[in-house]
Amino acid sequence: MKRKGILIILDGLGDRPIEELGGKTALEYANTPNMDKLAKMGILGQQDPIVPGKPAGSDTAHLAIFGYDPYQTYRGRGFFEALGVGLDLDEDDLAFRVNFATIENGIITDRRAGRISTEEAHELAKAIQENVKLPVEFIFVGATGHRAVLVLKGMASGYKVGENDPHVEGKPPHEFEYGDEESKKVVEILEEFVEKAHKVLEHHQINEKRKKEGKPVANYLLIRGAGTYPNIPMKFTKQWKVKAAAVVATALVKGVARAIGFDVYTPEGATGEYNTDAMAKAKAVVELLKDYDFIFLHFKPTDAAGHDNNPKKKVEMIERADEMIGYIVESIDLENTVIAITGDHSTPCEVKNHSGDPVPLLIVGGGVRADYTESFGERECMRGGIGRVRGKYIVPIIMDLMGRTEKFGA
């Protein structure tokens, strides 16, 4: 008996009790008839992407959920971002994630430049690529929203560099730190890049227009997350002998999926932002499931709402995800499929960042033993039949239900 599998990650799904929602979490408060139905049919639990109490990044969390030890694999975020925007990198490249930000009188007033659109970011990035000259070859391209990627060709040995992101607004940019002489050279190049890019951005027509509209201008670059080639011992697709596709819009997560062997698809309208077309993603999953054994579906805006401390928006995004999931379940043969729904980590509104809280987990489909749970939410997951497991066991559990694990021993 072989089944197909779908892993759905609602980014930053987990939360803590929110006063504005009557002490419920966003997932508990949201109207999610489809996921609640799946909870009744399936099995719930809690998962710790890394270990209990340890906040995971989106990159390390995805690596862990795909079964890799992030402490062995991870070599910094920048590389996944660069893979994710479709760049083909060399082993000696050094990649960074970049935010378009707003600076006024030397103070960072908006770390995301009012969450400028992907189109604006791409055009600004193009202007920088064309007009900035550096002593080394570089690639600078827009990703999703305010995010961009910088690659310094051949500079991997100088990877011990810090960042200029102060991580809070109302402060000047941070000074880049460095750990050795190679990295000091990289810092000098980064400082030159930030300075020259600032001049290009300052009077770019997009910013002139934003200024007139009273929007924060994207006139500064915050650079962080230096990354080199990840240490992936065996690709996911080879390890599990499956044909696997990912439906993702967010560059970072695309990068992780590409690095472990997934074919990556971004349907039109899927942006990774609040305006993402969830139904386009659902249709892509249903279509791809005809050709692939395993589909990974990533949904980003739940995380953004947590970072923005916007509980109502998080509820709205979860409800949109529920419709997306409802469409998928209606369109497939559930008895011959295994579906897991979870987050990569918790992003509680009160924290405005990732936390170490466990993440709700739902598994449903053919072969799944149902438990007594009635709806999908943090509290109900605490009494779920999966118990509390490490993120790294999610894929083996799915693969086992799919009939794709191998016996150890005889």
The binding site for a copy of itself (CB under 8 A) comprises 1, 16-17, 25, 43, 46, 50-61, 70-71, 74, 77, 97, 224-225, 252, 348, 350-351, 353-357, 367-372, 378-379, 382-389, 393, 395-400, 403, 405-410
Is the Cβ of residue 125 or residue 394 nearer to a copy of itself in the bound state? 394
Shortest Cβ 23–a copy of itself spacing (Å): 8
Backbone angles phi, psi at 393, to 5 degrees: -95, -5
What 8-state DSSP symbol labels residue 14?
Answer: B
Is the Cβ of residue 60 or residue 228 nearer to a copy of itself in the bound state? 60
> Which ranges constitute the DSSP H helices of 140-218?
181-202, 205-212
Strands (E), 262-319: 263-265, 294-299
Shortest Cβ 196–a copy of itself spacing (Å): 25
Shortest Cβ 400–a copy of itself spacing (Å): 4
Sheet containing 387-390: give its strands across. Answer: 263-265, 244-247, 294-299, 4-10, 337-342, 359-365, 43-48, 387-390
Is the Cβ of residue 53 or residue 179 nearer to a copy of itself in the bound state? 53
Is the Cβ of residue 81 or residue 320 nearer to a copy of itself in the bound state? 81
Is the Cβ of residue 131 or residue 372 nearer to a copy of itself in the bound state? 372
Is the Cβ of residue 235 or residue 379 nearer to a copy of itself in the bound state? 379
Shortest Cβ 74–a copy of itself spacing (Å): 6
> Which ranges constitute the DSSP H helices of 109-180?
118-131
User: Structure tokens of 43?
Assistant: 């099995």
Query: Contacts for 269-276 with beta carbons within 8 Å, 24 or more apart?
Result: 271/118, 271/144, 271/145, 272/144, 272/145, 272/248, 272/300, 272/301, 273/115, 273/118, 273/144, 273/145, 273/300, 273/301, 273/304, 274/301, 274/304, 274/305, 274/313, 274/317, 276/249, 276/300, 276/301
Residue 329 to residue 397: CA distance in whole angstroms: 20
Shortest Cβ 223–a copy of itself spacing (Å): 12
Shortest Cβ 135–a copy of itself spacing (Å): 27
User: Structure tokens of 95?
Assistant: 């990649």
Is the Cβ of residue 154 or residue 396 nearer to a copy of itself in the bound state? 396
For 224, half-sphere exposure in the C-beta direction (CA atoms, 13 angstrom radius) is: 14
Give the burial class of 135: count Cβ atoms within 10 A of its Cβ; 0-12 exposed, 13-18 middle, 19 or more buried: exposed
Is the Cβ of residue 83 or residue 201 nearer to a copy of itself in the bound state? 83
Shortest Cβ 47–a copy of itself spacing (Å): 10
Shortest Cβ 347–a copy of itself spacing (Å): 11
Shortest Cβ 341–a copy of itself spacing (Å): 17
Is the Cβ of residue 332 or residue 399 nearer to a copy of itself in the bound state? 399
Nearest to 56 by CA among 273, 343, 377: 343
What 8-state DSSP symbol labels residue 367?
Answer: T
Asked if residue 284 lies in contact with residue 307, where contact means CB atoms within 8 angstroms, the answer is no
